Amino acid sequence: MIKILIISFIVIVLLVLVYSVIPTLLIRICKLGITKTVQGENRIVLTFDDGPNPQYTTLLLDVLKNYGVKATFFVVGSKVKRHPEIIKRMHEEGHTIGIHHYDHISSWLMSPFKLKDQLIKTEKAINECTQEKVTFYRPPWGHFNLFTLWVSKKYKIIMWSNIFGDWKVETCKHELLDQLRKTTAGGSILLLHDCGETFGADEEAPHYMLENLEIYLKEMTEKGRRFITLSEL
């Protein structure tokens, strides 16, 4: 009986690895079907995950508008349904909007049918606000499963070249600005977060992210750096 339990446990672990962890590692290490950087010596792509958030996303849009910067937002479909006015403002102000699942759930925990449903529902929610085709997709936590590339083949999957841990207040207070300042390479795709409601995040972290982002944008625009959206590629 114990031997059967051990064998069953090993089989389950192997199946989980084959379905989730191994595809994620292969896709990210080998860059299979994903984009982590863009071409251009003087171009940087700012991306924001997990919104829209009625408090912080609107403040972020104010900051971006103040510096004439366009960004790309990977939004959660259920939040889009609750705050369509924010998505409409993003669109009207020239930002690009992509998919980040209807619920903030890892692809590791979803069947291919559930994943497809998450993509379809989020695209529909965005389209109802913008009346435009949705092109870009970023899975939460950068997690892929065995079927992700096949299920999401109609979209361009965008990862990142730089991630900063800005979902934690302490990181934002003590490290984020220095990390951003070191990010000067042309073609970088930067990942930040405009919502602190997801698992493992600090609710007030976006407040401190915004403080640092504004300093960074001021310095970089003065140096002539150009921030573009993914739609401009």
Active-site annotation, residues: 49, 193
Burial of residue 153, with CB atoms counted within 10 A of its CB: 0-12 exposed, 13-18 middle, 19 or more buried? exposed
Nearest C-alpha neighbor of 180 from the set 207, 152, 209, 159: 209
Q: What is the distance between the alpha carbons of residues 210 and 46, in angstroms, rounded to a whole number?
A: 13
Three state DSSP letters for the chain: CHHHHHHHHHHHHHHHHHHHHHHHHHHHHHCCCEECECCCCCEEEEEEECCCCCCHHHHHHHHHHHCCCCCEEEECHHHHHHCHHHHHHHHHCCCEEEECCCCCCCHHHCCHHHHHHHHHHHHHHHHHHHCCCCCEECCHHHCCCCCHHHHCCCCEEECCCEECCCCCHHHHHHCHHHHHHCCCCCCEEEEEECCCCCCCCCCCHHHHHHHHHHHHHHHHHHCCCEEECHHHC
Q: What is the distance between the alpha carbons of residues 202 and 200, in angstroms, rounded to a whole number?
A: 7
